[in-house]
Amino acid sequence: MSKRKPNVLIVGEYSQFNTGFATYFYYLLPKLFKTDKYNLAELAVYLHPMHPKMEETPWMVYPNEPSPRDPEEVHRAYQADPINQFGKFRFNQVCLDFKPDIVINIADPWMASWINESPYRKFFHYIHMPTVDGQVQKAEWVEDYAKCDSLFTYSEFGKYTVETQSGGKIKVSAVASPAADTTVFKPSENKEQVKAALGLPTNSVIVQTVMRNQPRKLFPEILKTFNILLRKMEENGESTENVYLHFHTSNPDMGWDLPAEVKNHGLSHKVFFTYMCDHCGLIKCFRYRQDKTVCPACGNSSLRLPNTSAGCTREQLAYIMSAADVYLQYSICEGFGMPIVDAKACGVPTVVVNYSAMAELGTEESGGCQVPLLKLWQEPATNTNQLRAVPDNDACANILYRLTTDTAWREYLSKNARQWALKYYNWDRTARIWENHIDSIEIEENPRWYAPVNLLQPMGEAPQQVDDPAHFVGWVCQNVFKNPQMFYSNEVKNWITWLNQGFLVNQDQHGRKYTQQFGIREFCNLVNNRIQHHNHYEMLRHNTMNPVERKPKIGVTL
């Protein structure tokens, strides 16, 4: 093992933001930094150079977004490709500057496939941790996983899915599940006091969910289920007066019209939302009173629902979650479902759908309950083509009935939840998994980045006729790209299909599909453009071959 510190580049949502991906990095990166074994840098998605959080880390940060002061053509270039927002926009420039030995990316597979296509891919060890949230994974995703040097997953479900679907060809290096900060997320010493401070009824049973307002989050089904619960309680002579729902979410967002859904289900009196004030910092729960309204504490029109870019701090969220009596994660799938573990750390029994990663977080031993499925349905090929869950609302209502009426059962699961989080879902354990794997990677004393420049020769004129497109494309892979294995990729299979049929199907910026001619001439133009792209980046690499001594902390604007 070399004594040289490896350069480790993390690509993903900025570690100081309030998203699931960002939270993972928020806890992981300081622990890796503290070891003093690595030169760390972040290519920070959704961060621009003038953002107030730009300087909040001790390691190097490269913002992915253009500066507000950049010329209009820079912003147009950023907006030209929707995948730019996930790090593609700055990646090659950052690689030239930082010269990573290891690149780590945690993201949905469709957000990250461009990393394997980078002209600098061969110069770094790539560790990818995709959100495997359903079966069956798209073939192109599995192919992309196979190109990675190391593959991590969030869950045992993800590991099983990838390894099984690849026929054992892919071996997942580790399951590095997210964890909970159990020093922050912890049971309340006085739950009634917390509820009172938040504006929730003190003698209530609160069924809480903390989820993005996205289509796959089943907010309407939660409302249906809650109505079933209320009817069941009435039928059994139980009072429904003190049972409430609490949504910690945003509106509007990418998913549901939540105020309309609450009203349509006749539950306006039973559903609380978290509100926060931008002016005085008030955090309070109210029945819905517009997305933004007047703050009762300071009188300013600055009280609003939280969102991912301006949400609660982790300490505030932990306080809010400690007020819950039951936590419900109701969605068609989850790559993991980090709030489930946060709820467990707060000693809150968790109710989850028995599918994807959620299933392994819903055992009784871990303080959870699993909602059985009515069925699995398949999304269309235009989406993910995966199986998605339809939970049994009646069964869920039965589980909630027991949890809201049987205090002893709720307390038993609460104790299990906290103990499980302490034992299995702590960030020190997760960080050790990453540290051990990074340390196992052989780092050359002379970085690959300083290898001799390798320029490719463009093709000559396109042949007038090709009898066998597959044979011709194979010849190009071997003799032009100098990469025979390229022939077996999905991309090359598409080229052969397009040549055989004489056209490809494309779509415009509005998503409207149209056909485009694709013959030998178009194929050769595509190849030459690829070669020009490769040679351009090779010459840029050649111009940056003088090693740069890194300072402990540099804020970088490219």
Domain boundaries, the chain: 7-179+432-449, 191-425, 453-541
Distances (CA, A) of 365 to 208, 265, 369, 398: 21, 34, 9, 19
Q: Give me the tens of pLDDT residue by residue for the chain, a chain 558 residues long.
A: 457 999 999 999 999 998 889 999 999 999 999 999 999 999 999 999 999 999 899 999 999 999 999 999 999 999 999 999 999 999 999 999 999 999 999 999 999 999 999 999 999 999 999 999 999 999 889 999 999 999 999 999 999 999 999 999 999 999 999 999 999 999 999 999 999 999 999 999 999 999 999 999 999 999 999 999 999 999 999 999 999 999 999 999 999 999 999 999 999 999 999 999 999 999 999 999 999 999 999 999 999 999 877 889 999 999 999 999 999 999 999 999 999 999 999 999 999 999 999 999 999 999 999 999 999 999 998 888 899 999 999 999 999 999 999 999 999 999 999 999 999 999 999 999 999 999 999 999 989 999 999 999 999 888 888 889 999 999 999 999 999 989 988 889 999 999 999 999 887 766 688 999 999 999 999 999 999 999 999 999 999 886 555 554 544 445
Cβ atoms of 195 and 331 within 8 Å: the answer is no
* CATH code for the structural domain at 7-179+432-449: 3.40.50.11930
For 489, which DSSP code? Answer: S
- The bridge status of strand 373-378 relative to strand 387-391 is antiparallel
Cβ atoms of 350 and 147 within 8 Å: the answer is no
* Token reading at 164: 């099984």
Print the SS3 string covering 374-414. Answer: EEEEECCCCCCCCEEEEECHHHHHHHHHHHHHCHHHHHHHH
pLDDT at 554: 43
Is there a shared CATH topology between the 7-179+432-449 domain and the 191-425 domain? yes
pTM comes to: 0.88
Rounded Cα–Cα distance for residues 197 and 207 (Å): 17
Rounded Cα–Cα distance for residues 229 and 265 (Å): 13
DSSP string across 291-355: SEE--TTT-SS-EE---SSS---HHHHHHHHTT-SEEEE-BS--S--HHHHHHHHTT--EEEESS
* Amino acid (one-letter) located at 439: D
**In angstroms, what is the C-alpha Rg of the chain?**
26
- Domain boundaries 191-425, CATH class: alpha beta
Rounded Cα–Cα distance for residues 46 and 324 (Å): 31
